[in-house]
Amino acid sequence: MAADSMEIDDSLYSRQRYVLGDSAMHQMARSSVFLSGMGGLGIEIAKNIVLAGVKAVTLHDTKQCETWDLGCNFFIHKEDVLSQKRRVEAVCPRVAELNPYVHVDVSSSALDDNTDLSFFGKYQCVILTEARLSLQKRVNHFCHSHQPPIKFIGCDAYGICVRVFCDFGEEFEVSDPTGEEPKEIFIQSITQDNPGVVTCMDNQPHGLQTGQSVVFREVNGMVELNGTARPISVFSPHSFAIGDTSQLQPYAHGGFFVLVKTPKTYRFETLERQLCDPQLLTPDFSKPEAPLQIHAAMLALDTFQEQHSRLPNTGCSQDAEVLLKLTEEVNATLRNKFYLDAIEVVRPLQSVAAEEFSPRGDRYDGLRACIGESMCQELHKLRVFMVGCGAIGCEMLKNFALLGVGLASSSGEVFITDPDLIEKSNLNRQFLFRPHHIQKPKSTTAAEATLEINPDLQVDARLNKVCPATESIFNDSFYSRLNLVVTALDNVEARRYVDSRCLSNQRPLLDSGTMGTKGHTEIIVPNLTESYNSHRDPPEEEIPFCTLKSFPSVIEHTIQWARDKFENLFAHKPSMYNSFWQTHPSAEVVLQRMQLGESLEGSFQVIKLLSKRPNKWEQCITIGRLKFEKYFKRKALQLLHCFPLDTRLKDGSLFWQSPKRPPAPIDFDLNDCLHFSFIVSTARLFAGIYNIPYSEKDVTEEEVTRLLSDVKIPEYRPSEKCIETNESAKKPDSMKLPLSSEEEREAITQLEQAIATDNVTAERLQVSPLQFEKDDDANGHMDFVTAASSLRARMYAIEPADRLKTKRIAGKIIPAIATATAAVAGLVALELVKVVGGYEFESFKNCFFNLAIPVVVLTEPAQVKQSLIRDNIYFSIWDCWTIFGHEDFTLSDFINAVREKYGIEPTMVVHGVKMLYVPVMPGHSKRLKLTMQKLIKPSVDRRYVDLTVSFAPEADGDDDLPGPPVRYFFSRKGETP
């Protein structure tokens, strides 16, 4: 971001803008930050704030690079240690290249109790890491007293415990306390009473809290409410009171309300005051006492450092006794402070010999001090498969490198895969990538960058998507060589598939995801926890077809309509056109077959496209003008023809009432920039698919005006077509709609004319479909979607969205910031250590956090359920029974084998969606004599199938009892898939 002009580089910051908003982005671009301490914690903070786009950062540190740093600082390399570089000098250029908009400088001056702190006056935020408590207090007091106050953050990380302290002054205003986008909620009714009660339409939950305020719009009848903000009292999840409405006009119909965002002022206290009376966040409610205990222990550690000018030595019992005594003294004397621990990582290691934790002079000494040498070796031997190399993937690879996961010398390996290429918008969060990497594969580039952090890793980078189509690559043999799987994905469907493969192959899965300031991690361990597929979020509500086509009520509807138009006009129809002519390369043969009465799928639509295909730029402009007339004038006229404004339903209520909005036809006006944008963007896209050249002059207002003066607009005549009003109706498939005889004759005539006028050449039977690309502002895609959506919104009197919001919704962009991404990756790394150590169920933690509030919640994962079949026969989702057959093995043999091996006889056998054996089905009893190979054809690359079996209930009339999948091997040699 250019701080001087305050222009936000959307191609870089778009995902972050959706999280923080432009006001916060501009404030950051004016802010200078002082960051002290270039250890593991300091470099992590430096990375995140530079990626975020502050104006300037001063990196401060006085230490030299040591071997220890290689295990926690990803920007210090081995050559920096050998050349005895200062840490700050080693990391500065590497931090600076993360973001060209941020000025990064360095300081290696002493910062201690004698330093004149007045230089802090030029900074808006001061962050101290690796600083003694006395210095933190002194700097915090200076920042708190300064006018205006300088934001102060003090933080420390000691192995498995971390603390963060914030002081943003005595009057710190937060303009948006939650960060949630307010929704428009439609109104069912408002009572004329004291208090008046508002009820939401269709029992939609309002999500409000007593004391908040809402503003009303488009209310009919009780019009005095429109534009006013009213404080509310919640009555139920679907209703609330708004004060006295008894003197207002009676409510008639319609209207909606929106939450009013109210700024909130927070008062922060100094570190000195907070140490005595701390306000602590509790992230793990299974151990509510932990934050206060860690608070006491860390204060004792601070005292130890003040007294001895060093930290306690690893494995030194004398230092441990001193620290314990200091902790007891601090505890006897006992807000804005956050402590997080991972005690579960070390609790099982208490019986391990002290020598395990002793330093050995390598990059893993810091890690070894936490988990011991044996666990370090297990990490080195690990074989991990990570799916996805985006934001979370980059952070995970950094953690793998620092932890020494998958070292070549220990026969370990990290497999990664991602089919995507690097885009500029990735650089804001995916810190392993730089501008010169744009359009290179994510996986191979990330692998190279990871080896720069730790050259000893063995990384196998692939470009394949993980899905059913690639099971020949990521097959059972591949999974059998793995210790665990990590997902770094951005969609539920892919997670579900990877989870099913881990379940089938009995492999642990570590999943995580972010949405803006929110993040979650989920740990899935064979035979201990439920799987990802064990819980299902409610499916995302689809917008009804009739709402999109004719009755939009909110801006999301018009944006989706515009996005669908793009897909239909510039992707789907051109692809269908190419596919048809590839299948039927001769237009003459197509004509003959149609003349003989043969129905060819898609022929009507394809011939229509062929006959109307433009040859030159002015024809593309004409198409744009005709599309405008069709979408924004004739559509409205047709709707009002079918449903005049006074139309009433059978119950006497008005047809056009909330949420239905009556459209208003739009007359074309070239002086309206939105009209001009729609015409030009539409013409450009049609020129693109039909490979028609145009110049910069062709898109000027003067030239477009000249071309439009020749366009003849046919007179509007109402159609008698039926308009769909049923919300449950699905969109019809135009390819499969039966053609009328008139349409068939029209298509034949059009094709005859095309052939007769030599318009059927190889070039004209080929077009170039477009693939929607939201991040390229030069391609015109977002120009079309924004103009089309805004015009439709205007037609229906819906408040339009700006280009940024339109891009987020149309492109299904997930808002994201680097901080949340780094947090989930760190939490996943903790769980990885526990998996490698074979820890018990109680040690594992799932996490949900929202950094905006802030909330951090650690919980135990869902424990695996044991389901009773009957007679003390249980199974869980992780169980898979196995039966080995041979070439002559029959279905009857299979059923008998299950009964003999597992003590219960199947009554139904299903393979996928095919029912192999259901006794009540006609002819199924004859199948018992058929061989399994005849009933199920084995695939070439897999010598087994997973069958679903059911068992007879204990009582007649009950449903059949489910059981675990039964894996049937066609031969003994398939035992090891």
pLDDT tens, residue by residue, 6-35: 689 999 999 999 999 999 999 999 999 999
Residue-level pLDDT at 417? 98
Residue-level pLDDT at 739? 63
Handedness of CA 684, 685, 686, 690 (dihedral sign): positive
Residue-level pLDDT at 913? 86
Token pair 């005539």 is found at 749
- What is the spatial distance between Cα 249 and Cα 225, in angstroms, rounded to a whole number? 10
Contact 392, 361 (CB under 8 A): no
Structure tokens at 665: 């036809």
Query: 936 by DSSP, 3-state: which?
Result: coil
Residue-level pLDDT at 738? 64
Residue-level pLDDT at 722? 86
Residue-level pLDDT at 335? 46
Contact 143, 167 (CB under 8 A): yes
Is 546 among the catalytic positions?
Answer: yes
**pTM for this entry:** 0.90
Residue-level pLDDT at 736? 60
- What is the spatial distance between Cα 622 and Cα 624, in angstroms, rounded to a whole number? 5
pLDDT tens, residue by residue, 806-849: 999 999 999 999 999 999 999 999 999 999 999 999 999 999 99
Select which of 125, 394, 546, 880 is catalytic.
546
DSSP, residue by residue, 136-157? HHHHHHHHHHSSSPPEEEEEEE
- What is the spatial distance between Cα 875 and Cα 963, in angstroms, rounded to a whole number? 7
Residues with pLDDT less than 50, the chain = 2-5, 335, 974-977
Closest CA to 143 of 158, 165, 124: 124
Strands 484-487 and 509-515: parallel
* Radius of gyration, CA atoms only, the chain: 33
Residue-level pLDDT at 82? 97
Total count of residues recorded for the chain:
977
Residue-level pLDDT at 454? 98
Residue-wise burial string across 830-858, b where 16 or more C-beta atoms lie within 10 A, e elsewhere = bbbbbbbbebeeebbbbbebbbbeeebeb
- What is the spatial distance between Cα 641 and Cα 716, in angstroms, rounded to a whole number? 12
Residue-level pLDDT at 2? 47
Closest CA to 49 of 450, 431, 520, 513: 431
Residue-level pLDDT at 976? 43
Handedness of CA 946, 947, 953, 958 (dihedral sign): positive
Q: Give the amino acid at 941.
A: D
Closest CA to 452 of 76, 95, 85: 76
